[in-house]
Copies of this chain bind each other. A is one copy, B any other.
Amino acid sequence: MAITDRAEAPVAASTLQVLAPDGAVVPGARYPFELSDADHVGMLTAMTVTRRLDGEFVNLQRQGQLALYPSCLGQEAAQVGITSATRDNDWLFPQYRELGAFVVRGVDPAGIGHMWRGMAHGGTGLIEKCCAPITIPIGTHAPHAVGYALGAKFDGVDTVAVTFIGDGATSEGDVHEALNMAAVFQVPCIFVVQNNHWAISVPLSAQTRVTDIASKAAGYGMAGVRCDGNDVLACRVVMRDALLRAREGRGPTLIEAVTYRMGAHTTADDPTRYRSEGELELWRRRDPIDRYRSHLVAAGIWTAQHEERATETGERAAKRLRDEVFDAPMPDPLSVFDHVLSRRSGELERQRRQLARETGRDAT
């Protein structure tokens, strides 16, 4: 059974690309000339920092500081390219693997650490940055993005809702209902599918019969576009277009960013049980950071100094994350009774007093 066929195929011809894997501009590509050198430096820095932080999260998990962590290794271009095109008040509705998006938005990584350490569901510090809490049940957040976008449309503002889902998520009924509603209501909502070829151990070919997830858009009467998800400029370009379409009231877009999950599904997973080293090797050669760096170096935009500074920024961020995670105080046991409803019922107060007694705390 050729279960890895799709991940091993070259990225398909109809897939928008700006940079070839070696960093050269693809002939005839729609190059985003509107980006300043500073923009480019910012993007590559964000990708570099993302990778460093991602590695640190994996380390922290190995050291027993986190219960679990889903690495975004290899998906930095998709996440940074997409998110850097948004405005700070466009709302993001992430799945759980979107560290790159959070880095671009300036979310404190410790807040993500709090989630995986088991201190705060959904993470902390996200909402302030217009990011919905991290969502674990696959695809269920997609309708929220549609609702948010509908509200923005009603408000007459040009704010856009962006939801990140995976290739696996496309099989879920909630995603279908969301796509359909977004199209029917013509809301400013963008569905970003990071097609990383795997849903835990299930390859794309066992998830859907089509090889091209963007082709699903047509059945909803929605714009669909496919880009090389390891090409940050391609991601940026398609997202720029989709945002414009959304802001102009021309409706939603489904973007498929073709990329690859280079790490395990989460730190609890062992991918050697289900995929080949050869496949991984192939994608290593399509590394999104190497590609962009080659391009920017060749263009004279990225210097050794930039590299050094980005590495340093990454190191500092990683160290801060480490410290914050290690130093994080245990949450107050009684906090489990907070934020259930706007006020506590009599029964909940009784339960709270019980736990206060058990833990030697003051229930007042």
Contact = CB atoms under 8 A, between A and B. Distances in A.
Interface residues of A, number: 24
Given A218-B219, A219-B216, A220-B208, A177 B184 contact: no
- How many monomers of this chain does the complex have? 2
Nearest to A176: B176
A183 interface: yes
A219 B256 CA distance: 13
Interface string A162-194: 000000000111111100100110100000000
Interface string A184-212: 10100000000000000000001111100
A220 B213 CA distance: 9
B209 A184 contact: yes
A221 interface: yes
Interface in A287-339: none
A215 interface: yes
A interface SS class: helix
Contacts of A215: 218-219
Contacts of A176: 173, 175-177
Contact of A172 (B177, B206, B216): B177
A3 to B, nearest CB: 12
A55 B177 CA distance: 36
Nearest to A180: B171
A177 B183 contact: no
A222 interface: yes
A210 B179 CA distance: 12
Contacts of A220: 208-210, 216, 219
A183 B171 contact: no
A349 to B, nearest CB: 34
Contact of A173 (B173, B183, B209, B221): B173
Nearest to A254: B219
Interface centre among A180, A184, A220, by most chain B C-beta atoms within 10 angstroms, is: A180
A153 to B, nearest CB: 15
Contact of A183 (B174, B186, B208, B217): B208
Interface string A80-99: 00000000000000000000
A217 B221 CA distance: 13
A218 B173 CA distance: 17
A217 B215 CA distance: 11
A221 B216 CA distance: 9
A186 B206 CA distance: 11
Nearest to A170: B180
Contacts of A207: 184
B174 A173 contact: yes
Contacts of A221: 208-210
Contacts of A173: 172-174, 176-177
Contacts of A206: 184
B172 A184 contact: no
A186 B208 CA distance: 11
Nearest to A179: B176
Contacts of A174: 173
Contacts of A186: 209
A183 B205 CA distance: 11
13 contacts: A173-B176, A176-B176, A176-B177, A180-B208, A183-B209, A209-B222, A210-B218, A210-B221, A215-B219, A216-B219, A216-B220, A218-B218, A219-B219
